[in-house]
Amino acid sequence: MRLCSWPDRDLAEQHSRNIRRWLAGTPYRVELLTGSLKAKEKREIQEAIAEGDVDLVVGTHAVIQESVQFKRLGLAIIDEQHRFGVMQRAELHRRGINPDILVITATPIPRSLAMTVYGDLEISVIDEMPPGRTLSRPSSAAMTGAKKSTSSSAIRSRTDARLTSFIQ
């Protein structure tokens, strides 16, 4: 079993949707576990995790709570934001659960930097775009008249191409 822990529900839901889409048609079972689930749904997911019926648990800090019992947790991927990842790693260790841990971060906290320097963490740097991915070029336009039509068309073509658009 593997888990992915994210700092907030929106990120957890986004990653859960993407992972489910990527694994569609495979026998892998992915479950989303967040604090906002209804009690019955949360209990059912926790039971499936305890039985080992779930291959990947995606969620917030709710995946690390005492009430979540892992049958065999082999890998924990934790997005570290401020002290979030530190507390989740400590909780797994306190419970005697010692999976391989992959900590991901855009801005490492001082403790993680120190652990890397002193040999307690290994580091991998991803410093290039995935194949076929290009940098986004920002553009803006006032949403009036002809510019509104042009902007709408540009946004539609970007979303059709599965690119990102931001409207402010």
Q: What local confidence, expressed as pLDDT, does residue 165 receive?
A: 59
Q: Assess whether pLDDT exceeds 60 at residue 138.
A: no
80 Cβ contact list (under 8 Å, min separation 6): 86, 103, 104, 105, 108, 109, 112
58-81, pLDDT tens digit by residue? Answer: 998 888 887 888 888 888 888 876
- Mean pLDDT for the chain overall: 78
CATH classification code of 2-117: 3.40.50.300
Q: How confident is the model at residue 148 (pLDDT cuts 50, 70, 90)?
A: low
pLDDT of residue 65: 80
> Has residue 45 got a pLDDT over 50?
yes
pLDDT of res. 12: 92
**pLDDT, tens digit, for every residue of 34-44?**
988 999 999 99
Residue 145: is its pLDDT beyond 60? Answer: no
Q: In this model, does residue 166 exceed pLDDT 60?
A: no
Report residue 17 as tokens.
Answer: 């949707």
pLDDT at 168: 43
What residues does each domain of the chain span? 2-117, 136-168
CB 105 within 8 A of CB 112: yes
The confidence band for 21, taking pLDDT boundaries of 50, 70 and 90, is: very high
List the strands of the sheet with 2-5, edge to edge.
30-33, 56-59, 2-5, 75-79, 100-104
* pLDDT score of 10 more than 60: yes
Sequence-distant (≥ 6) Cβ neighbours of residue 139 within 8 angstroms: 154
Supply the pLDDT for residue 101.
79
What does the pLDDT look like over 104-130, one tens digit per residue? 777 766 766 776 677 666 667 777 777
Cα torsion 37, 83, 2, 12: sign: positive
Higher pLDDT, 117 or 19: 19
Give the other-Cβ count within 10 Å of 76's Cβ. 25
